């Protein structure tokens, strides 16, 4: 029988890991087991995770993960642009469209925790403009909009 790789279950995840590999090769960066595991875990979580939640999910598979190692992998993946950090919730999420380098905005539902990654031209342009107007050469833009998503508003009669 064929060797039973644990992959190939979710094609989306497979594609993301392939993309990670190609990104690393292109930049001459090393792709390690941990880095793969961290991205993989974030992707299959399907939501934002704190570094320590992530750690808990990694431990069963890799007992020697530590906070430091998780943060290191996260930093690496963020530099590559395949993971983002949500400043307002101190958590991390896999990028939803890592094909292009991008400045994104996040919409966060405070009730169900859903996070939507948006790429709004208007906001991008307006922030760039503001930076120029005030003389700042911007290199990082955090836009995190918190509220209640449509689903959650519907499902709550009131209050």
Partner DNA sequence: GGGTATTTGATACAAAGTATCATTAAGCGG
Partner DNA sequence: CCGCTTAATGATACTTTGTATCAAATACCC
List of residues contacting DNA (CB under 7 A):
24-25, 28-35, 50-53, 62, 64-69, 71-73, 76, 90
- Among the listed residues 8, 26, 134, 157, the single contact to a copy of itself using CB under 8 A: 134
- The option from Zn ion, DNA, a copy of itself, none interacting with 78 (CB < 5 to 8 A, set by class) reads none
Using DSSP's 3-state secondary structure scheme, residue 109 falls into strand
Q: Is 148 in the site for a copy of itself (CB under 8 A)?
A: yes
Burial track 26-47 (b if 16+ CB lie within 10 A, e otherwise): eeeeebeebbbbbbbbbbeeee
Binding mask 25-64 for a copy of itself (x = CB under 8 A): ----------------------------------------
Q: How far is CA 84 from CA 135, 142, 153, in A?
A: 26, 10, 26
Kindly report the number of other CB atoms within 10 A of residue 74's CB atom.
Answer: 21
Binders of a copy of itself in range 74-103 (CB under 8 A): 87-88
49, 80 Cβ separation under 8 angstroms: no
Which residue matches tokens 């790429």?
119
Q: How many CA atoms lie within 13 A of 124 on its CB side?
A: 9
The tokens for 154 are 């519907």
Report in angstroms how near the CB of residue 112 gets to a copy of itself at its nearest: 11
- The option from Zn ion, DNA, a copy of itself, none interacting with 13 (CB < 5 to 8 A, set by class) reads none
Binding site for Zn ion (CB under 5 A): 95, 104, 109, 111-112, 114, 149, 152
Binding site for a copy of itself (CB under 8 A): 87-88, 105, 107, 109-110, 116, 118, 120, 122-123, 126-127, 129-131, 134-150, 153
């Amino acid at each position: 029988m064929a060797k039973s790789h644990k992959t190939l279950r979710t094609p989306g995840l497979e594609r993301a890991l392939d993309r990670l590999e190609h990104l690393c090769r292109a930049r001459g960066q090393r792709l390690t087991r941990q880095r793969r595991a961290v991205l993989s875990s974030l992707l299959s979580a399907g939501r934002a995770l704190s570094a320590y939640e992530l750690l808990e999910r990694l431990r069963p598979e890799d007992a020697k993960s530590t906070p430091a190692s998780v943060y290191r992998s996260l930093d690496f993946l963020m530099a590559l642009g395949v993971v983002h950090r949500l400043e307002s919730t101190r958590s991390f999420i896999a990028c939803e469209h890592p094909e292009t380098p991008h400045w994104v905005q996040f919409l966060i539902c405070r009730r169900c925790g859903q996070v939507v990654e948006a790429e709004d031209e208007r906001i991008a342009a307006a922030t760039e403009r503001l930076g120029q107007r005030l003389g700042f050469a911007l290199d990082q833009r955090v836009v995190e909009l918190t509220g209640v998503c449509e689903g959650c508003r519907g499902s709550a009669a009131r209050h």
